[in-house]
């Protein structure tokens, strides 16, 4: 991939899971909830919790180097304002492109603004789309990222699929029972210019799709592994060049089987890996953006490698991967990978690194 740089970024998400009995009436589940009050938005069409999160995030970005007609917007989401729609019956609240349209309205930009909704891979797909906009000179800068907030409808859906865990999510444990949902968002300002000496670079992206099952990944991980390899090839890197992998790591039986196979087949047990969903919850359309932002913080020296939080009882039926623990020796981290796999067989992987790190 030709040089695409992250010149600024912001993120917000939970740092622990809390028990809640209001989202699913009559039942208690753990959620990664943002404990913050956000400002209302004066335009009713856009007055959604997801957009309040975006406003908080975009206000932290420095856009001063670019004109309004030079900035594009690509936002991944799966829920948008579905919770508000149930109360207001305002059709705009349910539109998946609403968050991107909101940012265009709020910032007054005069270039493309679009939504991406590909389940859990939405955040990396937003990167992929943004890269194409930059490479084809449609924009000089793109605000790319993802946002999702907790909503009853998808929560009930996961409950109906019997993958919503009553306990805190426990990825790669023999005792894992499913996911814990969360909310959050992250935005990245992407350009073809290395505006600052310490900008982080998008080195490679890999995308594949498979038709194994609508809601269950292929346990042999054929296309998941292909997405990882495509990202490595795009970045012109070998597996040994990757210093850390943030795993999709949902804590479901099927995801962890698939992902352990994909990671082990390429990296064996060498590369440190962890899932941060036991901290953030599964943020759905924002998950890949949130987890890429965690990698961004690591590369910036603002965060240590996240310890893989689980009960310590690894599922021995899975190939052994190198989960980060308190005793993991932390070599200098120059290049990180983030994996994401979603319903419908969508697979996406992004590699980011320090400028010149490859």
Active site residues: 120, 248, 282
Q: What is d(CA 243, CA 340) in angstroms, rounded to the nearest whole number? A: 18
Pairing relation of β-strands 71-76 and 322-323? unpaired
For 212, the 3-state DSSP assignment is: coil
Beta bridge partners of 274: 246
* Token pair for 112: 């493309």
Half-sphere exposure of residue 310: CA atoms within 13 angstroms, side-chain side: 28
Helix, strand and coil content of the chain, in percent to the nearest 5, comes to: 30, 25, 45
321-to-63, 111, 207, 256 alpha-carbon distances in Å:
40, 44, 22, 11
Task: Please name which of 35, 282, 263, 104 lies closest in space to residue 176, comparing C-alpha atoms.
Answer: 282
Q: What is d(CA 191, CA 9) in angstroms, rounded to the nearest whole number? A: 12
Q: What is d(CA 269, CA 311) in angstroms, rounded to the nearest whole number? A: 20
Task: Please name which of 188, 212, 214, 210 lies closest in space to residue 201, comparing C-alpha atoms.
Answer: 188
* DSSP state for residue 42 in the 8-state scheme: S
Long-range Cβ contacts of 34-41 (<8 Å, 24+ apart): 34/183, 34/184, 36/12, 41/102, 41/106
SS (H, E, C) 158-196: HHHCCCECCCCCCCCECCCCCECEECEEEEEEEECCCCC
Where does the chain have alpha helices with state H? 49-58, 82-88, 98-107, 122-135, 152-160, 222-235, 253-267, 277-280, 287-299
Q: What is d(CA 75, CA 147) in angstroms, rounded to the nearest whole number? A: 7
């Amino acid at each position: 991939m030709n040089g695409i740089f992250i010149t600024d970024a912001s993120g917000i998400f939970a740092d622990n899971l809390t028990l809640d009995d209001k989202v699913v009436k009559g039942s208690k589940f753990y959620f990664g909830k943002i404990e913050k009050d956000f400002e209302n938005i004066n335009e009713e069409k856009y007055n959604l919790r997801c957009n309040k999160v975006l406003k908080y995030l975009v206000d932290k970005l420095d856009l001063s180097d670019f004109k309004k007609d030079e900035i594009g917007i690509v936002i991944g989401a799966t829920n948008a304002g579905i919770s508000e729609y149930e109360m207001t019956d305002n059709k705009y609240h349910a539109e998946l492109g609403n968050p991107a349209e909101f940012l265009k309205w709020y910032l007054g930009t005069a270039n493309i603004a679009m939504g991406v909704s590909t389940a859990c891979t939405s955040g990396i797909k937003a990167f992929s789309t943004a890269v194409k906009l930059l490479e084809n000179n449609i924009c000089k800068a793109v605000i790319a990222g993802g946002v999702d907030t907790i909503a009853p409808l998808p929560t009930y859906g996961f409950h109906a699929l019997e993958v919503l865990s009553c306990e805190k999510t426990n990825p790669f444990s023999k005792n894992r029972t499913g996911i814990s949902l969360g909310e959050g968002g992250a935005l990245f300002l992407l350009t073809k210019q290395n505006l600052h000496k310490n900008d982080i670079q998008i080195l490679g992206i890999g995308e594949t799709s498979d038709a194994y099952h609508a809601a269950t990944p292929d346990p042999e991980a054929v296309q998941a592994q292909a997405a990882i390899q495509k990202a490595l090839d795009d970045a012109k890197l070998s597996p040994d060049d990757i210093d850390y992998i943030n795993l999709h790591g949902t804590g479901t039986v099927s995801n962890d089987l698939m992902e352990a196979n994909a990671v082990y087949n390429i990296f064996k047990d060498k590369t440190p890996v962890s899932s941060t969903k036991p901290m953030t919850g599964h943020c759905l359309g924002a998950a890949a953006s949130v987890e890429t932002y965690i990698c961004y913080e690591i590369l910036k020296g603002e965060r240590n490698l996240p310890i893989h939080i689980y009960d310590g009882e690894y599922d021995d039926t899975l190939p052994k991967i190198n989960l980060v623990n308190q005793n993991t020796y932390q070599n200098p981290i120059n290049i990180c990978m983030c994996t994401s796999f979603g319903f419908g067989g969508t697979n996406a992987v992004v590699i980011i690194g320090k400028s010149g790190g490859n």
